Amino acid sequence: MKFRDNGLKRIVACAAMVATVLLGTIVPASAASMGELTLCSYGDYDSYVEFPSRGYSSKIVPRGQCSTVYVGNGNKLETIVLIGITFYGYYFWVANGSLNPVKGGDAATYGSLSSHFATTPQT
């Protein structure tokens, strides 16, 4: 009987470890809440996000950092534009994306000036 108890403990411990790993990969550390957009600058440049239909943009997010901006609770899909900024202050387009403000989302910029890309919220 003791052997079965140890086997059950091992199964439970293994299941707990698998659940922890799976949940850790599903939820990013910088996850935005509803009504928010989190932008992370993972590339070797600063970045920010423009909201063309609103006529404004987020603050500049220094490379290696994340920042969250409140985008409201509207349920209308809107375009966002991710912009990078070089060390010398030159601006360049990184990516376009879509955002549903009520859902919120995460965006991130990656790479370098010569090879840049981004992820945008899943709508």
Could you report the per-residue pLDDT of 61-86, keeping only the tens digit for each?
A: 999 999 999 999 888 999 999 999 99
| Residues 6 or more apart whose Cβ sits within 8 Å of residue 37 | 49, 58, 68, 69, 71, 80, 99, 104, 105, 106, 107, 121
Walk me through the domains of the chain, giving residue ranges and CATH numbers.
30-119 (2.60.40.1430)
9-59 pLDDT, tens digit per residue, is 444 444 444 333 333 333 344 567 889 999 999 999 999 999 999 999 999
pLDDT of residue 23: 36
Instruction: Answer yes or no: is pLDDT of 108 > 80.
Output: yes
Identify the pLDDT of residue 122: 81
Banded model confidence at residue 60, pLDDT cuts 50, 70, 90: very high
User: 12-16, 63-67, 93-97, 117-121: which has the minimum mean pLDDT?
Assistant: 12-16
Residue 73, pLDDT score: 87
Under a CB-based contact definition with an 8 Å cutoff, are residues 47 and 61 in contact? yes
Task: Measure the CA–CA gap between 16 and 117, rounded to whole angstroms.
Answer: 35
Token digits of residue 24: 């850790």
Neighbour count for residue 16 (Cβ, 10 Å): 10
